[in-house]
Amino acid sequence: MWELPKLDSGLQYLEMIIRYLLTTAGDKIITTTDEIITMMKDNLPAEGGDLVMTIADELRKEGYEQGIQIGIREGLLDTIEFGLSLRFGDDVLKFMPKIHDINDIKRLRNIKDVIKKARDFSEVKGMIEN
């Protein structure tokens, strides 16, 4: 019976399995995740395939969560740009490149909230530059 070696992390298992699949693929060029999954089902024993499917599910979940975070960030950036333009005029949009460099969702939400309440742009500018 084929047995998976004991490795320290899921990524090590994934690397081992992908290397195995690529060596068994021969000259076939794999271009989609569906092709990889089909190849795994065809070439790995059931226990190994189950592990790979668990890893694949985890990677999909991580990708989905990252996609949600990217969407939230993009929505906040659009809202901030709209709010700045509406409240303080288009001249302050020169600060958008600095805002685009901010990856922290919580900080972007704080900037959005300050835009709603700020009496003048200097309050918002302080949030952008910190």
Position 7 pLDDT exceeds 80: no
Nearest residue to 40 (alpha-carbon basis) of 55, 58, 61: 55
What is the reported pLDDT for 49? Answer: 52
Mean pLDDT taken over the chain: 80
Angle formed by the axes of helices 121-129 and 105-117, to 10°?
170
What is the reported pLDDT for 48? Answer: 53
Calculate the CA dihedral of residues 130, 77, 123, 115 and round it to 10 degrees.
-150
Of residues 92 and 20, which shows the higher confidence score?
Answer: 92
What is the reported pLDDT for 21? Answer: 65
- pTM beyond 0.85: the answer is no
How confident is the model over 9-58, as pLDDT tens digits? 666 766 776 676 666 666 666 667 677 777 766 766 655 556 666 767 77
Share of the chain above pLDDT 70, in %: 64
- Residue 26 gets the label, from left (phi > 0), alpha (psi -120 to 50) or beta, of left
What is the reported pLDDT for 1? Answer: 43
- The domain limits of the chain are 10-66, 67-129
Of residues 119 and 50, which shows the higher confidence score?
Answer: 119
Cα separation, 95 vs 35, whole angstroms: 45
Query: Is 96:125 a contact under the CB 8 Å cutoff?
Result: no
Query: Is 78:111 a contact under the CB 8 Å cutoff?
Result: no
Instruction: Report phi then psi at 26, rounded to 5.
Output: 65, -130
Cα separation, 127 vs 83, whole angstroms: 14
